[in-house]
Structure 1
């Protein structure tokens, strides 16, 4: 089996007009710094596991693609993108296709722009499956039955070297109350793990939490990349939410029966936070944007 080295990035949050994230962060500069941090390495894959865009515009996706494509090509890497809660399916598809624009992917959704952006591609014996955990119009995540069946049917036949699954909302818990309220549906997370357990899936790559986390679930490593645009404060009061002005990513290496995850986080301004929401503000956000007790409420205008 040949090894696989992945640069795992997430949450680039580009805007089509080049605006600063939260009025503070130059997202293109953060991405440049993240790439420079590991620029001396060669990679097989460069993965952006969702929230590629902040505003869901075609221009934002073009800006990310234009910055990443020459860098990845110079290092022999394929680019892979997944949908996040800030992304918009129609614009994502128009620029990035099924998430694996440089491969002959088999897409779940065909030409229906409103259905999930999910795809599978195999390159040099390694299979990459992109899932779409976004729920249009909300921040929390879910996986429709058709995606679960797509995953289940794809994994029936093992790939030569193994499979990597990319999905924005992780099938593991968050560190803070706000991010837990915006997490993947609990049942969908259990179903995802049940489907991949015992298959050739070597790792699940996720984002959304802006915090480096690696957790083994039913023998499958789930790894969350720190945010490119900012890095969440994971050890403060869980009722509050804050992020540092910094960037991060992870280098994931699969070699034989080993999976190694080496995250990196760099803080740009020692005393500056991108944002800080106290417990009252977080409670308001959860009330307005968190997952409702009755899932039917999420469809209400």
Structure 2
């Protein structure tokens, strides 16, 4: 089996006009620093597992495409992007297609730009499947039956080296009340793991929580990348929500039967807090962006 090295990034939250995230974070600079941190390494894949954009604008996707795809090519990698809850399907598709813009990908049939962004691509014996867990206008995640059907069909045939699944909302629990309220629908998470169990899937790459988590669910390894834009506080009061001005990612190596996940978190500035929502703020966000 050929080894596979992945740079797993998530939650880049680019804006079309380059405005600061929460008025604090230069997201393009955080991405530049994250890429520079591992620039001495070769990669096979560079994956950004959702919330690629903050404002869903075409310009935001063009900015991140121009920042990531040439860097990935210089390091021997192809690029993979997934939809997150801040992304907009129409704009995402116009610039990034089905999420694997430099691959001969198979897409969901149909031409409606508002349909979920699902794709399958194979390269050097490795298959990458991109799912769309976004729910337009909401913060929580869901995967529709059509995607599940196509996922099941794709996995009926095993890839030579195995399959990587990319989905923004992870099928594991969050650390805080807010992120749990905006997590992947629990029944959909169980259905996803049920399809992946006993398949050739080597790892599931997710984001959304802005902090590193790796959990085996019924034998399926699920890993959440630290946020590029900021890092959530994992062990603060779970009824509140706050993040620090830091960036991170993970380097994942798959070789033979082994999956090695090495996350990194770095601080670019002494300015620590990006945001802090108290319990009242959290309750309002849940009401606005969680399931009805």
Residue 192 of structure 2 corresponds to 192
Is the contact between residue 109 and residue 116 of structure 1 (CA under 8 Å) also seen in structure 2?
no
SS at 1:174 equivalent: coil
SS at 1:263 equivalent: strand
After TM superposition, the score normalised by the length of structure 1 is 0.96
Structure 1 residue runs without a partner (length 5+): 293-301
Alpha-carbon distance in structure 2 between the residues aligned to 1:133 and 1:276:
26
Alpha-carbon distance in structure 2 between the residues aligned to 1:234 and 1:116:
30
Is the contact between residue 207 and residue 225 of structure 2 (CA under 8 Å) also seen in structure 1?
yes
SS at 1:92 equivalent: helix
Residue 141 of structure 2 corresponds to 141
Q: Deviations over 1:81-106 (max 9, x none)?
A: 00000000000000000000111100
Residue 209 of structure 1 corresponds to 209
Alpha-carbon distance in structure 2 between the residues aligned to 1:284 and 1:139:
13
Number of residue pairs aligned between Structure 1 and Structure 2: 292
After TM superposition, the score normalised by the length of structure 2 is 0.99
Residue 67 of structure 2 corresponds to 67
Residue 168 of structure 2 corresponds to 168
1:52 aligns with 2:52: yes
Question: CA 1:109–1:238 in structure 2 vs 1: closer, same or farther (change >3 Å)?
Answer: farther
Q: Deviations over 1:140-198 (max 9, x none)?
A: 00000000001000000000000000000000000000000000000000000000000
Q: Deviations over 1:186-240 (max 9, x none)?
A: 0000000000000000000000000100000011100000000000001100000
Residue 220 of structure 2 corresponds to 220
Alpha-carbon distance in structure 1 between the residues aligned to 2:106 and 2:45:
18
Residue 252 of structure 2 corresponds to 252
Is the contact between residue 9 and residue 228 of structure 1 (CA under 8 Å) also seen in structure 2?
yes
Deviation at 1:110, TM superposition (A): 3.6
SS at 1:62 equivalent: helix
Deviation at 1:126, TM superposition (A): 0.1
Residue 285 of structure 1 corresponds to 285
Alpha-carbon distance in structure 1 between the residues aligned to 2:52 and 2:16:
11
Alpha-carbon distance in structure 1 between the residues aligned to 2:95 and 2:225:
23
Deviation at 1:280, TM superposition (A): 1.5
Is the contact between residue 85 and residue 134 of structure 1 (CA under 8 Å) also seen in structure 2?
yes
Residue 7 of structure 1 corresponds to 7
Instruction: Decide which moves more: 126-135 or 269-278.
Output: 269-278
Deviation at 1:109, TM superposition (A): 4.1
Alpha-carbon distance in structure 2 between the residues aligned to 1:135 and 1:286:
14
Deviation at 1:114, TM superposition (A): 1.3
